[in-house]
Structures are given as structure tokens and as C-alpha cells.
Structure 1
């Protein structure tokens, strides 16, 4: 036993979690299949809250390029699984949830019987490879558990997980030719050269260890593993699909294909062979580590010391139930409850734990670090999640969110560029999307009292990140107050997003009494005005000479200066100062009229042709709920003095964009952002401007809810006279007293109390 102090020992954790209170069985309302059809990009497999392992089926593994050209179908497989597919190619251990880009899909395992096949074959001809047909009638997905029957082999596949270990259970037919395939080539979003190297060491007849190095979206990523079988394999072998390497291996002095104890190469698939009795269960425990094979093995023995599959499954589901009971909600229908708790489930998948049971992890400097006093996390899709997911964590998961910000500060300290994360995972910065939205998370946590680190150091990191002059037009933004259209293709969206982030920095400075910094960044936060063309009343790309671009189309998403949106969407993106935006747009009447037009317009077909990742299901008029820049927009009717329109639109979005079925998400869930929007809006309020201590009132869809806060307090929400038609708020009471206005304070929630909405079907103007 290592003398190092363990950060997490699961048996102790489970004992402490469930000894004190009676929990409702809320996990039964979670349906991980929601979002797996069309463009939700969620996965249905087994994981635990914020787990490093997400053990899930792959229905295909497509290459990024086909014959040297971009493969448009690869976008559909960001989560590896599509509900529309009819075959499963195997089960891999790492995934993103709901993203529009991907990586991962590490260590694919597939059980088979009969003649050994080491090629997956094609979906059109599944018998040509080791993949298998399956039916959704024989598939079940729950929080912490997944099972499916592999029809071609008559094998029942079941899986569950701990934080760092995926646990498989395969029920075989009687066979003297049963196999378990380990595919070290497979991966999501594959390039031909993504797999840099793999190594496997056969420790004995039931345990193997190794690692995989990839060069995908994350450029330098190494994942180590330890794999154990519940019964010894009778033989094993491998095939190296790298023809260049295969001919030079061992100078042909050894036959590496059969029973050789060490295997290395770029394109390797292995097989482990068994004799099985009828209905015999063969289990696999598969642990991963960012640091070493030894740590992977330590994770395995720490978190799964025995072979009790049902016990591990029960522990996983108990942990989920504990997390889900942080909000106990009653709804108008069971479908609404399924939507609510599935949304909570999706918000608790990412970010993911990125450290071993002993606290070690690999940093941005590619060195091994020890997480002291915090859990280190990765998978930060910040352009999406700063809007609602992390503000949601500040209420429901404040300790985890504190650790997430400490993880981002560690990223900053280890990064040679001295920048906070933009989009990071597995000790890599991916530079995806725009803005420097780490500062929003940090500001929100400092303002709301969640962050327990050094706020002075956090402010320094925010300022350093905001002044990286050679990154994405920041130098020109600082000098001119905007980014010119000639500079980058997302000049307008970058300008307005930087302006919001600068406002967030100003809030930290104000909190710390740094008046000079506050004034500087408050001034920078007004830079959105420099790309607002008052002559047309919309955001518009501006040239380096100061003039606005003449060739301009308000509706187009292509070549107009925006990312994942058009001018209609981004012209409302001033979440930190909507009152001033309304003023420059022409006042309340004009502002409200523009909002009306946004929600009622008809989009031309060209809009969809330009935007491959937006589906028609994710759109209401010109409002694109499937993309994040407009997520706050329905709440802006409040500032225009028309709160009833906010209430009507929120309930419409809740109904139209979220359904309890496989295609129930109107766009990528984006690491939980879409789901966090649903939770906030269902409860009746939303963080329009993270970095402030305010939430804007919408229209609750729940009957009542009880928020069980980490500080021991409870905050209750009731919607009197609730119905599908009663979407308008007649009046509000907070702790028995009339509540005026449309802004709820963070402290009103965290000190506990009761918020009561009195609903009606009549407009209140």
C-alpha cells in the first residue's frame, strides 16, 4: 500500500453519503437516451457524477477525412453513439457530452463469439466485421448503468462505472470460441495520424496494462490504463494494421501476433480468448489514469476492490440519487419530471475529474502535479458553460465549482503562455470558440462568495489573459476598441464577447476595491458600441479605417463577423448592460419590437445552408436556442417593460426545445449548458449576466421545488395555480412579502427561504 494520502476512497465515500438522510428515488426519472438522436450529441452509457470514465457504446467510428476530403458525417458522431444507427461497434471509456466537436473514444472493447474478426466492418454489412446489430427494444440506459443485447452474438452487455473505472459484464452463450476485442485504434473524430502510439503489457493471464498517445483535438494526450478480467483468458493475440511497422517488427525473430507479452504500435487491435458456459458472466474492470500505468492499477484496486457488479452498479446509482436530490421537484407531467432530472443528470457529467485516486494529474506543462486541497477537473467548454452551467453550480454545486476554478488557476500557473482556459481538456488547450470566458466564471464565483482561493491572484490571471495582444485580435481590440473585419472572420462576436468579459473583470476589481482597474475595464466593457451601427440599429462588422462593412447581410451566418449566429442574434448580446443597448437601439418600443421580430421572423433556406450544426428543431423564428449566444435573449423583454412576453417565450422554449424522447434536445447539449438553461428556466429565473449577483425572473414551469443547498439551508419555490395555460405571473412573494421587479438576488436563494409565483392565463401589463 502506498504511503500517499488518498483524496478519495470510494467505500468510505459511499458510507458517508448515504448514512444520514432518506432520499427520494429520483434517478428513475433520468433517461440518458434523451439527446442521442439528431444533434443533441449526448451519450447513453454509464458514468458517475463528474466521472473521468464515461463507458458508452459506439455505433460507428468515422474518419475525419475520406479520400483526402472532409467527411461531413463525422460531425454526427461527436458522442460516438447515434440513436438512428442499427449496429454497435464496441464500448469505449471516454466521451464528451453534447459537444459540437470531439475527441476521446479511448479503449474500445467488443465481445464476440465464433470466428475471430479484427476489423469492425461497416454498418451496411455488419457481418463483415466484429460489430453487431442491436435493437432499442433490448437496450436500457439509466443513471450509472447501461445494457444492450448484441444480437449477432447473443451476448448481453452491461456496464457501470466508478469515477475512474469502467466495469463491464458480458453474459455469453456456451462457446469454445469466445473473444473480447480491445481496439486501440478506435477513437472519436479520427484523423489518420491521430493515434501516435499505443503500448500494452500482459502482466498475467487476467491483467494487462498500457497507454495510448493521441494527437487529435488535444494535441498531446496520453491516457494510461489497467484492465482486469474476472477469469483467466486461455490465449491472446494482436494484429498491427500499420503495414509499415508490421514488416520491421523484431526483425522477424518473434511472432508478435500470438501470446507475446509486450505490444507496441500505432494501429493495434488485440483479442483475448475464452471458453464460456451458457449464460456465463465475464467481467472486466478497466481503469484509466492521466499519469501512469501504476496509478491506473491503483485506481482500479482502490475503487473496485472486488468483482461484485451489482454492488458497484448500486453504488453508482446511489451517488446519482444523492446528487439529484439536491433539487426535489414536482411537475405538471411525468415527462416534465423526466426532462428536469435528465437535465440535472447532463449538467453533472462535465467538467470531468482529472486526477488519480492519490491526487496526481498531468498539467499543461506535461509534468505530474499533486492536487492539494482540491479536486482537479478538465473538460472546460467555457464559451458554452459560463452562461448557465457554472452559475447553476454556484447554487447547487458550490464546492465543486470552487474546485473547478482552482483547476483553471492551476492551468494558468502551468501554462507557458500564462492564460486561463478557453476550451481545455486532458492537459491541453484547444483554443475553440471566442472570448476569454474563464474570467466570467471567476467573477461569478467571487461575487457570489463561492471561490475560496486568493482573489487577488485570480484577478491578476484575468487581467493577464485579457491582455494577450497576439491572441484573436485582442491587441487591436485594446488599441481601437474593436476588431476589424479584415483581422479575423469573427470580428464582431469577438468584440462583443470581450466587452462582456471585461465587464466581468471590472466586477472583480470593484469587489476588491481596485478602483483604477475597475474604471479601466468598465470603459473596455463599452467597446460593443464600436461595432453597433446606429444607422441600422444592429451589430455590424467594421473595417480598419473605421467605416462599417458595406457588403452586409443581417440574416447571414457566413462571412459577416459572427460565430454560431448572425447579427440578429449578436445584436442582443450585451448581457452586462442591456439598458444601454436598449437606449442605443432606439428605446423600449423599438427594443421590444426587435425582440418580437426575432421570435416571429421566417429564416431563409440560406441560413440553414450556412450553418451545418443548427437544425430547424432548435429555432423559433430567428431565435436559435440550439446555439448559446441568444440564451439570455427571451429574458430581455423584462428591461423593455414587457415581462409577460418573457414569460410567454420562456414557456414556449421549454415546451418546444425539450422533450422526453431521443431527439428531445433542439441542439447540442454543449457539456450541460442547454440542460442548465432548462433547469433555471423551469424554476423561474435565469443568470442573464454572470458576474452579477442577480437572476432575472421568467416563468416557472414546475409546481414546486425544494433546493437542498450545501450550506444546510433550503430554498423553496412554488407556482400557485400552475398549468400549461397559466404562463403569466400575476404576482410574486418572497418569504411572505411582495416581491417587486424582475431581479432575484443570489443571497435571497443561499440564505434559504420561499419564493411563490402566482400564475394566471391572463396578461398582466
Structure 2
């Protein structure tokens, strides 16, 4: 793996890393981590949980090529790939670390010279408005990004508040200076993604409009308001859906130049300036899910001035406030960069989805008013229920409670009577499996984070779990499993439904709802129905009650699993690990199975046609970039060999996280990979969200203080910490030894100190 450290971070020299870093924690964050290969992060400017993600895009990839799916689309889920030599422009919405593409709204690109409204190509950027660039002239920080556009001799700088992106373009002397607004551009771009766009020139510095798309989200409308610091002297547009420049509006107006408004499916507009050498033209670009008036109100509320540096400083102060919730002392400079970049990535989403007045677009495509909570979107729940939302229950409990309220609002607006599965921007994508909003809600209730109506929340969870039309649930409720001949990925679905059902049972028991508790406790046992004891693996079962005959425990293709195989999914019973171990033959059989996951060699066929798996992200058959295995290193804690959890965790931390652009061993998945890193670095992990128990591991920090919202602090200390001393000799909570390798959430939020005593040999 190439070591590609962002140049900006080479200037930070700290002589003794065992000292606590200064409060300017922003300096340790490298947004370039994950921008190369599979991490799918973006390097641009955003505020914590911000609605605007203003970032460079390095290519425009069509979704289809010659009538078939274009696999290159997968590379550009975040719009940026570190290896690319050109930038096509700066758009205002991006996913962080996903395995699917969308967004990329409202691309701006400053240019000089002859006006060109097509983006050009990577091989020949001069044929369009894109530009070559060098990483030597690029810098990325929280809430700040800059790059030199070599072909146009322009320095582009970006910063952002929650709902407003701010651009600062330093031009050369030119009578042909332009800012292009591309309303066609998008990530996950294919023909007819744009269903409609509208542009209105309010005056010579203010433009408003909207964009409607049919991409991953079926129907998404984003409104904007754009203001220039300097009046443009002329403007124009081209509608590419016509194949030519507009000849007129109802044959009465020339709509291509200086016309006050334009609408169409494929629009690009331009705004012309005359500039002096070193002149800065600034742009404020506000978004709204509701209206152009909402976008204008957001702009006026969040950036009522033209001071770019002030916006940068204030947004970075917000980042320092959020990053300061965990103060860590770490062994090396790279450890600091990895730790605080991971913390940064966990605070990128879910994203705010409402105007400053609380209005937002709902799942029913009507406008709603958030009452007493902030509405959030971008819920990649199949990923984030595992560690990200449990992480929020420690460091962002108020936000996580608002996220639960957002999910319940989604439920209220759903014609399906379902909580979100994978939702964004007032749409349900139905991506992946399970109904893991149930896990997020249960975890928040069980840990006391959610202060709202818990019975209402439980009713929404139950209604979701009883939705017979959803993804094999009717068979699951009838048979106790999903049959593979009726519904694919049947084993994965059965296992994940059973876990979610267990979460419902925990909340029902807490609330005294015994009928619900009994029903879902029974459903939570359904994992046993797909376990084939004759071979010792989970196995797809058919509707006639027999196991599927043609079966390969290593294959990921058509074997009843999704993003995994029987070898690793057989370990997915997070809510009953002790019972799972006994069913699988006890420690004598289970531990060798678990060992083999990390030590075996996969055949070449395993990598065939797997666009989201590379050899770099795999340790044996353990695929860290695929979330079903995220808890498995901690399963040794339920066996007689818990020290193996300690060595496995430290090995994964070292191999799967590097302080380089290619430093993530898989998609960051909206912060899930980063949340795993943070939990594991601190020495504990939520194996089964919905339980209040954390499994202990082997901390990578020397010290850390978690500042809780209740005003208390929880400290972690690892004595005799070193790269070799990965084994825990004993653990003390507030000076008292722990008899088992577990920590309860109630003890954590009380404040106190967890002390690990480390050594170079296992304590058996």
C-alpha cells in the first residue's frame, strides 16, 4: 500500500507524542484519508453534520455504457478519486464513504479564456471547462479545502456552514473570466436523472432555482440561492436536452443570453466577469429542502457577510468543539491523524435536513415543521447501527435522540408503516436488508439517550417488524426463516431479522409490554432455523423445510448471503453469542472456527466479480470492509480464550487503518468504519446494540478522556502501552478489578476511570 501523506500535514511537528495535544485538534484531521481506492470519502468543506458538503469532483461517469452498468460508477460514490489528474468542479452535496452513488448537486467551476460549457475529458481537459491539478497545490482541512486549477490559473478555496457553502476564487487578470453553474452534473449520472431544473436571475449578484432528480432517490428536489460578491456583466445558458442552444422561448425571446429565467432538464449556465490580477470573487451557495425562500433565509442567517476567513474560522471552531469531546494521548503522529480523522468522519453524518426555521421535505413529499428536534437524513442503517449510533449514544446523545425522532417522523409519513431502512433527502432507497432503525431506537432507549415517548417508538418498531410485504418478512413470520427459493439472501435476512426482533424484545421488557416481549423473544430465536448442525454452518433453507443442496461455505454468490459468506455470517448472532457458541459445539469447536476466519487463505475465485472487495481489505476470510464481521473479533470474550480478542483487534487496527489517502480497508460507510476504529482504540465495543454491555478489547490509546454531555468525564488509561504490549493483564473500573471483560453503559455515563494494565504475553 503506497504511503501518500497529504503534504499539508507534514508541517505539523510535535516532538513528544506522549504529551496531550493542543486544543487545535483540527490540525490532526486529514480529510484525504479514504479518498483513494475504496474508502469513498470526500475531501471538501463541511460543518459537523452539515447539510452542505462542498467538495471537488474529479470525473463525470455515466451510469450506463453501451446499455450495461458501468462499473466505474462505483469508484465515484463520493465524486473524488485521489488518483485522478483533473477536477471537473465543486458540487454541494456528497455522501461520505458509501457503496452507492447519488447527489453531486449544483456544480460550480471557475474558468478563464474562451467559454466552454462542456466538462471535457480527463485525457483532454482543455476541450472543456475542467482543469488539471496537483496534490502539491491542494490542501484539505475540516471546513476548508483549496486547490490550484492549473489550466485556468485560479486558486479555488472552499468553506462551509451547516447550510451554506462559500467559495473564494482568486483569478488572474482576464477579460474572459467565468463561473459555470452546471445543473446537469451529478454523481450516479445517467440519462434522464434530471427530471427538471429551474434557474432565476434575481439581479446581477443573486440567482435562485432548484433541481429535481430521479437517481438513487426516486424523487428528490433541492432548492438553492447563489450570491456573488461582484456583479457579473453578462450571463447565459445552454439546454443540452435539446441538443442545441435554445432558439427562443415560445418563439418570442432569445433565452440563451441575459434572459431572467430558464427551465429545462439539462441546463448549464455561465456568469461572466472582468478580473484584475489576484482579484477574489466570492460565492455564497445556500441549500434548502423546501424552497428558494428557505435557501435565502439560510444564507442570511448563516453567512450574512462576505468574510471568507471568518466563516472558515467559525466552522473550524465548531469542529474543534466536536473533536474535543474525546481528548486522546496516542503513541505516534500517525495515530493522532488516524484517531482524529476517524472522529471527524463519524461527525459528517447523518446530515441536517431542515431549514433554519425547522421546515423540511418529508417522505410524503409535503413540507413539515420539525417540532422540538432537528431533522436528519442520510441513514445508512445497515452499516451504522453497529457502531456509529452506539458511538453517538456516548458522545452525541442529544443528536442521536433527534435522529430517532427523525426516524419516527419518517415512519409517520410512510405509506408502508415502516421505519427507515436506507433513507436520504425525503426518499427511502430500500438498500440492504433488515430493519435496523429498530436497533438504533432500541439502543437509544435502553441506554437512556432517547427521552421521548418510548411506547410510541416501540409501536413503530413492532409495526415495521410485522410488515408482511417487506423483503421476505411474510415467509419469516410464517416459517421462522426466509426460504431461499422464495427470497434471495435468505440466511442473512433471517439472521438480521432475528437480531432486530431481539432488540424489540428488550425494549418491550423494559416498558412492561409482556405480550410484545414474548412474541419477539420467540422470533429472536429464528437464527437456529438456518443453522445446519451437520456441517456446522448457517445454510440456506428452502420453503419445503430442507437445506439447499448445492452449497459452498466460501462462495458469496447465490448462497443465501449478502456481502459475506457462510463462514463469516455463521458468526452473526450478536444478541446470543454464548448460546451460538454452545449450538456450534462449545469452545472446542467454536474457537478453531473463529481462528480460521483470520488465518485461512481464500482462493482466487473469491475475488471474482467483487467490485467492493479487494485483497487489501481482507485478513484471511475476515473482510473488515464488509460490516457483518465487525463484531467477530470480540466474540473470543465469550470463550475461554479472551486474549485472542485483544490480539485480533490490535492487528485489525494496524492493518486496516493508515494515515494515507488509501488508508481505509473498505468503504467508510457513513462513519461505521471510523466508529469501529474509535471504539476499538478506546478498548471496548458494542457487540449487540440494544444491550447496555460493551465487550472489552485492547486499547490503542495511552490515555483518553471522553467528555460526556451530562458534564461528567470518562477516562481510559492503558498502562505499559506499546506496540508489543497488546495483551490485557487486568482491568480496573474506578480502582476496582473487573472480573469479566465487559463494561456497562451505566458505569460509563456515571463518569470515572477504566484502567487497562498491558503486557506482552496473554493472561490466560
Pairwise TM-score range, normalised by the shorter structure? over 0.9
Query: SS at 1:99's partner residue?
Result: coil
- Partner Cα separation in structure 1 for residue 318 and residue 683 of structure 2: 27
User: Which range moves more in the overlay, 485-494 or 401-410?
Assistant: 485-494
8 A Cα contact 1:47 1:53, kept in partner: yes
- Partner Cα separation in structure 2 for residue 250 and residue 160 of structure 1: 37
- Per-residue CA deviation, residues 651-702 of structure 1 (Å, 9 max, x unaligned), is 0000000000000000000000000000000000000000000000010000
How far residue 255 of structure 1 moved from its aligned partner, in angstroms, is 1.2
How far residue 487 of structure 1 moved from its aligned partner, in angstroms, is 1.3
8 A Cα contact 2:248 2:254, kept in partner: no
- Partner Cα separation in structure 2 for residue 761 and residue 115 of structure 1: 66
- Partner Cα separation in structure 1 for residue 387 and residue 242 of structure 2: 49
How far residue 61 of structure 1 moved from its aligned partner, in angstroms, is 1.6
User: Which range moves more in the overlay, 261-270 or 605-614?
Assistant: 605-614
Query: SS at 1:672's partner residue?
Result: helix
8 A Cα contact 2:73 2:101, kept in partner: no
How far residue 62 of structure 1 moved from its aligned partner, in angstroms, is 0.7
How far residue 189 of structure 1 moved from its aligned partner, in angstroms, is 0.5
- Partner Cα separation in structure 1 for residue 524 and residue 402 of structure 2: 28
Matched, 1:623 2:622: yes
Following TM superposition, where does structure 1 have runs of at least 4 consecutive aligned residues deviating by more than 3 angstroms? 244-249
Number of the residue aligned with 2:499? 500
Number of the residue aligned with 2:383? 384
Matched, 1:111 2:110: yes
Number of the residue aligned with 2:691? 692
How far residue 164 of structure 1 moved from its aligned partner, in angstroms, is 0.2
- Partner Cα separation in structure 1 for residue 609 and residue 208 of structure 2: 46
Query: SS at 1:612's partner residue?
Result: coil
- Partner Cα separation in structure 1 for residue 191 and residue 26 of structure 2: 40
Number of the residue aligned with 2:481? 482
How far residue 248 of structure 1 moved from its aligned partner, in angstroms, is 7.6
- Aligned ranges for residues 207-356 of structure 1 at < 5 Å? 207-243=206-242, 249-356=248-355
8 A Cα contact 1:47 1:144, kept in partner: yes
8 A Cα contact 2:246 2:255, kept in partner: no
- Aligned ranges for residues 82-101 of structure 1 at < 5 Å? 82-101=81-100
- Partner Cα separation in structure 1 for residue 242 and residue 314 of structure 2: 45
- Per-residue CA deviation, residues 425-450 of structure 1 (Å, 9 max, x unaligned), is 00000000000001000100000000
Distance 1:512 1:307, change over 3 A: same
- Partner Cα separation in structure 1 for residue 56 and residue 682 of structure 2: 33
Query: SS at 2:34's partner residue?
Result: coil
- Partner Cα separation in structure 1 for residue 494 and residue 467 of structure 2: 14
Distance 1:227 1:486, change over 3 A: same
8 A Cα contact 2:236 2:256, kept in partner: yes
How far residue 502 of structure 1 moved from its aligned partner, in angstroms, is 0.2
- Partner Cα separation in structure 1 for residue 465 and residue 245 of structure 2: 49
Number of the residue aligned with 2:581? 582
How far residue 384 of structure 1 moved from its aligned partner, in angstroms, is 0.1
- Partner Cα separation in structure 2 for residue 249 and residue 498 of structure 1: 57
- Per-residue CA deviation, residues 138-192 of structure 1 (Å, 9 max, x unaligned), is 0000011000000001100000000000000000000010000000000000120
8 A Cα contact 1:23 1:322, kept in partner: no
Number of the residue aligned with 1:18? none
- Aligned ranges for residues 442-457 of structure 1 at < 5 Å? 442-457=441-456
Distance 1:308 1:247, change over 3 A: closer
- Partner Cα separation in structure 1 for residue 513 and residue 535 of structure 2: 38
Query: SS at 1:224's partner residue?
Result: strand
Number of the residue aligned with 2:48? 49
How far residue 763 of structure 1 moved from its aligned partner, in angstroms, is 1.4
Query: SS at 1:217's partner residue?
Result: coil
Number of the residue aligned with 2:590? 591
- Partner Cα separation in structure 2 for residue 492 and residue 612 of structure 1: 22
- Per-residue CA deviation, residues 500-537 of structure 1 (Å, 9 max, x unaligned), is 00000000001001112111101100101101100000
- Partner Cα separation in structure 2 for residue 299 and residue 363 of structure 1: 19
Q: CA RMSD in A?
A: 1.0
How far residue 365 of structure 1 moved from its aligned partner, in angstroms, is 0.9
8 A Cα contact 1:245 1:265, kept in partner: no
Number of the residue aligned with 1:15? none
Matched, 1:559 2:571: no
Query: SS at 1:109's partner residue?
Result: strand
Matched, 1:126 2:128: no
TM-score, normalisation: structure 2: 0.97
- Partner Cα separation in structure 2 for residue 299 and residue 418 of structure 1: 32
8 A Cα contact 2:246 2:256, kept in partner: no
8 A Cα contact 2:36 2:83, kept in partner: yes
How far residue 610 of structure 1 moved from its aligned partner, in angstroms, is 3.9
- Partner Cα separation in structure 1 for residue 509 and residue 248 of structure 2: 64
Query: SS at 2:159's partner residue?
Result: strand
- Per-residue CA deviation, residues 543-596 of structure 1 (Å, 9 max, x unaligned), is 111110010000000000111011111000000001111011111111101011
Number of the residue aligned with 1:548? 547
Distance 1:411 1:248, change over 3 A: farther
8 A Cα contact 1:557 1:611, kept in partner: no
How far residue 40 of structure 1 moved from its aligned partner, in angstroms, is 0.1
- Structure 1, unpaired ranges of 5+: 1-21
Number of the residue aligned with 1:654? 653
- Per-residue CA deviation, residues 743-765 of structure 1 (Å, 9 max, x unaligned), is 10001110000000000001111
- Per-residue CA deviation, residues 678-734 of structure 1 (Å, 9 max, x unaligned), is 000000000000000000001000000000100000000000000000000001111
- Per-residue CA deviation, residues 78-136 of structure 1 (Å, 9 max, x unaligned), is 00000010000000000000000021000000000000000001101111111000000
- Partner Cα separation in structure 1 for residue 758 and residue 432 of structure 2: 39
Number of the residue aligned with 1:435? 434
Query: SS at 1:255's partner residue?
Result: coil
User: Which range moves more in the overlay, 660-669 or 637-646?
Assistant: 637-646
Number of the residue aligned with 2:744? 745
8 A Cα contact 2:387 2:686, kept in partner: yes
Number of the residue aligned with 1:667? 666
- Per-residue CA deviation, residues 338-369 of structure 1 (Å, 9 max, x unaligned), is 00000000000010000000110011111111
- Partner Cα separation in structure 2 for residue 59 and residue 72 of structure 1: 16
Matched, 1:712 2:688: no
- Partner Cα separation in structure 2 for residue 499 and residue 159 of structure 1: 46
How far residue 252 of structure 1 moved from its aligned partner, in angstroms, is 2.8
Query: SS at 1:543's partner residue?
Result: coil
Query: SS at 2:646's partner residue?
Result: helix
8 A Cα contact 2:247 2:254, kept in partner: no
- Structure 2, unpaired ranges of 5+: 1-20
- Partner Cα separation in structure 2 for residue 471 and residue 36 of structure 1: 35
Aligned length: 744
Number of the residue aligned with 2:469? 470
8 A Cα contact 2:297 2:356, kept in partner: yes
How far residue 23 of structure 1 moved from its aligned partner, in angstroms, is 7.4
Matched, 1:31 2:30: yes
Number of the residue aligned with 1:139? 138
8 A Cα contact 2:57 2:91, kept in partner: yes
How far residue 606 of structure 1 moved from its aligned partner, in angstroms, is 1.2
- Partner Cα separation in structure 2 for residue 574 and residue 540 of structure 1: 14
